[in-house]
Amino acid sequence: MKRKILTGITLGAVAGLLILFASPSYNQGEASLAGSTAKPFSFVENGKQMQLSDLRGKVVVLNFWATWCPPCVEETPSLIALQREIAPKGGVVLGISVDDDAQAYAQFVQANGIDYPTFRDPSRKIPASYGTSMYPDTYIIDRHGKIARKLVGAQDWTSPEMTAYFNSLLAKN
């Protein structure tokens, strides 16, 4: 009898952990990073060397991704739609790909019509500086260069919750 009770408690604890980690709210933001300054880095956009700080004053959706990552591929159309929605309001999606293969990266960007700024970092130094080890991994950076939120895994960037979140963040000065 004691063994059955212990087994039941163990199974209940495992089920509870699985539910916690599978719940959408678990992947909806890491509060510990909120308010910290986004790590500086440089990137090339349209042949021009830029710094993350050049985007200060905009809300930046910093998305670390790769063409070989199925969840990254899955969320690409949603990120394109998000860029079109937030760009007129002072927001920008900035993709940082960790692809080693420059040709695969270029073909993916063209084939999928990615129209937001994206840059390839095969060294993976930029995502490593943010503590990223899984893809996709996204950081929302406010107009003052502070991390507002971190989201792990593919997201529906056009969901009503995300739309409301971005509208409120973009309304702030």
Q: Mean pLDDT, 10 residues at a time, over the chain (173 residues)?
A: 68 51 47 84 88 96 97 97 97 97 96 95 95 94 96 95 95 84
Does 16 reside within a domain? no
The whole domain housing 130 covers: 30-171
Token representation of residue 158: 């056009």
Q: What is the pLDDT of residue 7?
A: 66
Domain count, the chain: 1
Does 43 reside within a domain? yes
Does 146 reside within a domain? yes
Determine which helix (DSSP H) or strand (DSSP E) holds 93, and give its type and residue range. Answer: strand 91-97
pTM of the predicted model, to two decimals?
0.81
Q: Are 82 and 61 in contact (CB under 8 A)?
A: yes
Does 113 reside within a domain? yes
